Amino acid sequence: MSVSATDISIKKVENSRLSQVDFSNIQFGKIYSDHMLICNYEDGQWKQPEIMPFHNLTLSPATTFFHYGQAIFEGIKAYKGPDGEPLIFRPRDNWRRFNKSAVRMAMPEIPEDIFIEGLKALIKLDENWIPATEDTALYIRPFMVATDEFIGVKTAEKFSFMIITSPAGPYYSKPVSIYVQDQYVRAFPGGIGFTKAAGNYGMSMYPTQEIKKMGYDQILWTDGFEHKYVQEIGTMNVFFVIGDTVITPDIKHDTILAGVTRDSVLALLREKGMKVEERTLSIDEIADAYKAGELKEAFGTGTAASIAPIASLTYHDVTMQLPPVETWETANYLKKTLANIRYGRVADTHNWVVKA
């Protein structure tokens, strides 16, 4: 089936909730825009996508994703351009990744048209929900769940794809303190670490709650066998500047989420002619670099947080304190350059920005 924007049925709200929103004080993920998109999959095919008022769902308690977790999602942002137009950052990369997650979770792939044209139509309709100040955007959450009403264990046959959107401010207000986790494991080869599956987050809640009690913000996960090769942080990929080289863990073992921000950062660094390495990186190597005074910067990358500087890394009883963020050339360059591209302030030479 090929869907075009004209195939999407649109039912608008009678009264927008927009005037009730305090855009000067937006908390991440607390309020949702007027409309949502929903598209169901049944009898082996995708049905007509519908945009309708944001509303609660009615589901049987036997709905399969409640029990067996066939659930995946994406995270994308739309920014307000110089003339107020919505600019969506690299949504086709999210669409491709969504389908990789879908295949691994035995869920149907979604055609590009439904995902991209649906997204564009939804953003266009709710464009006044995109906040306009620096460091703000409209966060876009596409997701898919299995909706068979059946509690026997089998792969589902019915699915719902939905998109909701939420005005978003800065994710972290200050540099994050990180706990290097070598007891609990996030991902291992053959698993689902490379997918944006709900289960990856479900399993992380307990270990994250434990380290928050100890005063840390997020976990840096290590590999599932030796517990010493760093993978990624909570919702972000991770970069280290050691000496004059920028190093990030490689993604070839399918244990790390291939971030769109990660990919953008790598492209920008290579363009600038910086030394960049994607490879296995052990926590011991990071600790040695720290001791030698060579650990210059460490930061997370992700759609929600953009570039999130790391204040400190704690591994067992050693805390590595990073230098003050103001002095970091790489992270600050990336943050500024990414923002300029996303808000449409410079030419989009990479074709990363899609107009709604």
Query: 156 or 265, CB closer to ligand PLP?
Result: 265
Q: Are 88 and 351 in contact (CB under 8 A)?
A: no
Closer residue to ligand PLP, CB minimum distance, 49 or 259: 259
Using CB atoms within 10 A of its CB, is residue 164 exposed (0-12), middle (13-18) or buried (19+)? Answer: middle
Query: What is the smallest separation between the CB atom of 266 and ligand PLP, expressed in angstroms?
Result: 11
Q: Which is nearer to ligand PLP, 148 or 217 (CB)?
A: 217
Minimum CB–partner distance for residue 140 and ligand PLP (Å): 11
Task: Indicate the residue among 125 and 236 with the shorter CB distance to ligand PLP.
Answer: 236
3-class state of residue 34 by DSSP: coil
> Which is closer to ligand PLP, CB of 232 or CB of 297?
232
Comparison of 260 and 268: residue with beta carbon closer to ligand PLP: 260
Output the smallest distance, CB 342 to ligand PLP, in A: 12
Report strand pairing: 71-73 vs 137-146.
Answer: antiparallel
What is the rounded distance in angstroms from the CA atom of residue 270 to the CA atom of residue 241? 14
**Minimal distance, residue 260 CB to ligand PLP, in Å:** 3
Q: Where do contacts with ligand PLP occur on this chain (CB under 6 A)? A: 75, 196, 232, 235-237, 257, 259-262, 301-303
Closest approach of ligand PLP to the CB of residue 176, in Å: 14
In sequence order, the 6+-apart residues with CB closer than 8 A to the CB of 315 are 180, 182, 283, 287
State the greatest distance between any 2 C-alpha atoms of the chain, in Å, as a whole number.
Answer: 63
Gap between the Cα atoms of 293 and 40, Å rounded? 55
CB of 13 to ligand PLP, least distance (A): 29
Q: How do 353-355 and 237-242 pair as beta strands?
A: unpaired
Given a contact cutoff of 8 angstroms between Cβ atoms, the answer to whether 343 and 81 are in contact is: yes
Residue 302 phi, psi dihedral angles, 5° rounding: -175, 160
Using only C-alpha atoms, what is the Rg of the chain?
21
Comparison of 51 and 145: residue with beta carbon closer to ligand PLP: 145
CB of 146 to ligand PLP, least distance (A): 20
CB atoms within 10 A of CB 14: 5
CA distances from 330 to 97, 190, 215, 287, 336 (A): 27, 34, 27, 20, 10
